Protein backbone atom coordinates (compact mmCIF):
# COMPACT_ATOMS: atom_id res chain seq x y z
CA UNK A 1 0.00 0.00 0.00
CA UNK A 2 2.87 2.38 0.75
CA UNK A 3 4.29 1.81 -2.74
CA UNK A 4 0.94 2.80 -4.25
CA UNK A 5 0.90 5.97 -2.14
CA UNK A 6 4.44 6.92 -3.21
CA UNK A 7 3.74 6.21 -6.87
CA UNK A 8 0.54 8.26 -6.88
CA UNK A 9 2.20 11.12 -4.99
CA UNK A 10 5.01 11.22 -7.52
CA UNK A 11 2.57 11.23 -10.42
CA UNK A 12 0.63 14.10 -8.83
CA UNK A 13 3.79 16.11 -8.22
CA UNK A 14 4.95 15.64 -11.80
CA UNK A 15 1.52 16.53 -13.24
CA UNK A 16 1.31 19.62 -11.00
CA UNK A 17 4.77 20.79 -12.06
CA UNK A 18 4.02 20.23 -15.74
CA UNK A 19 0.70 22.11 -15.56
CA UNK A 20 2.05 25.08 -13.58
CA UNK A 21 5.46 25.49 -15.14
CA UNK A 22 6.27 24.13 -18.56
CA UNK A 23 9.69 25.81 -18.57
CA UNK A 24 10.68 24.37 -15.17
CA UNK A 25 9.39 20.95 -16.25
CA UNK A 26 11.52 21.14 -19.38
CA UNK A 27 14.56 22.07 -17.30
CA UNK A 28 13.98 19.14 -14.93
CA UNK A 29 13.93 16.78 -17.89
CA UNK A 30 17.47 17.91 -18.74
CA UNK A 31 18.73 16.58 -15.41
CA UNK A 32 20.07 13.09 -14.87
CA UNK A 33 17.28 10.51 -14.40
CA UNK A 34 18.20 10.04 -10.73
CA UNK A 35 17.45 13.70 -10.02
CA UNK A 36 14.13 14.10 -11.86
CA UNK A 37 11.71 12.40 -9.47
CA UNK A 38 13.06 14.13 -6.32
CA UNK A 39 12.96 17.55 -8.00
CA UNK A 40 9.42 17.01 -9.32
CA UNK A 41 8.40 15.87 -5.82
CA UNK A 42 9.85 18.91 -4.07
CA UNK A 43 8.43 21.37 -6.57
CA UNK A 44 5.02 19.72 -6.52
CA UNK A 45 5.01 19.79 -2.73
CA UNK A 46 5.81 23.49 -2.32
CA UNK A 47 3.94 24.79 -5.35
CA UNK A 48 0.51 24.84 -3.72
CA UNK A 49 1.62 26.84 -0.69
CA UNK A 50 3.52 29.24 -2.96
CA UNK A 51 0.44 29.68 -5.14
CA UNK A 52 -1.71 30.44 -2.08
CA UNK A 53 0.74 33.07 -0.83
CA UNK A 54 1.24 34.70 -4.24
CA UNK A 55 -2.28 34.58 -5.67
CA UNK A 56 -5.18 34.09 -3.27
CA UNK A 57 -5.18 37.57 -1.73
CA UNK A 58 -8.96 37.70 -1.32
CA UNK A 59 -9.00 34.50 0.75
CA UNK A 60 -7.89 33.61 4.27
CA UNK A 61 -4.38 32.40 3.46
CA UNK A 62 -3.73 31.03 6.92
CA UNK A 63 -6.80 28.81 6.64
CA UNK A 64 -5.90 27.70 3.12
CA UNK A 65 -2.36 26.82 4.17
CA UNK A 66 -3.62 24.83 7.15
Question: Where is 11: in which H helix or E strand?
Answer: helix 2-20
Residue 61, judged by CB atoms within 10 A of its CB (0-12, 13-18, 19+), counts as middle
| Structure confidence at residue 48 (pLDDT) | 86
Q: What is the pLDDT of residues 4-63, one digit of tens each?
A: 999 999 999 999 999 999 999 999 999 999 999 999 999 988 998 899 999 999 999 999
Those residues with Cβ within 8 angstroms of residue 31's Cβ, 6 or more apart along the chain or in another chain: 39
| Structure confidence at residue 6 (pLDDT) | 93
Helix, strand and coil percent figures for the chain, each rounded to 5: 80, 0, 20
pTM of the model: 0.77
Residue 38, CB-side half-sphere exposure with 13 Å CA sphere: 5
Amino acid sequence: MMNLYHELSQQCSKATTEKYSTSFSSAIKLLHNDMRVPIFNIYGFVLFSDEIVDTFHQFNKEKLLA
